[in-house]
Amino acid sequence: MGLMKAEEADIEVVCIVSAEENKANTDSTIKNWNLGPLKPSDEPETNKPFWTKMADIWKVGESVARTQLCANCEYFENTPEMIMLMGTIPRNEFDTDAGGRGYCHRFDFICHNLRSCQAWEYREYVSEDDKEED
């Protein structure tokens, strides 16, 4: 089965930004919150200047900084529904080799698994077993 549009999947349609707002918010997050790296990679030791800068900002070691990705940030959403909604915004140069899209609810734009920014927040893993114990 190919990718369905949001309406076809009968999901609740919530508003996300327009393509223009997405670009403006991406640029603003790069400028004001050190979103990067601009050419991400999951190969070890790549983008050293970016990750050493983030390590300094977060006051952690470089190896720890490299684990703090949009992919595991509190504000990152990559549910199937959101991936479908983000499909309404055309791909651009920031999508290339960035590890896949997720929506940043802090800054309202499409960010990517392999990037990060200095507003990154730890997202706790909660298993089904943990939920049942509550």
Give the residues lining the site for ligand SF4 (CB under 6 A). Answer: 29, 35, 70, 73, 75-76, 104, 106-107, 111, 116-117, 119-120
Give the number of residues written for the chain: 134
| Pairing mode, strands 109-112 and 76-77 | unpaired
Which CB sits closer to ligand SF4, 22 or 116? 116
Phi/psi zone of residue 115: left (φ > 0), alpha (ψ -120 to 50 degrees), beta?
beta
Q: How far apart are CA 52 and CA 33, in angstroms?
A: 15
Which CB sits closer to ligand SF4, 65 or 84? 65
Least gap, CB of 134 to ligand SF4 (angstroms): 26
Which CB sits closer to ligand SF4, 6 or 119? 119
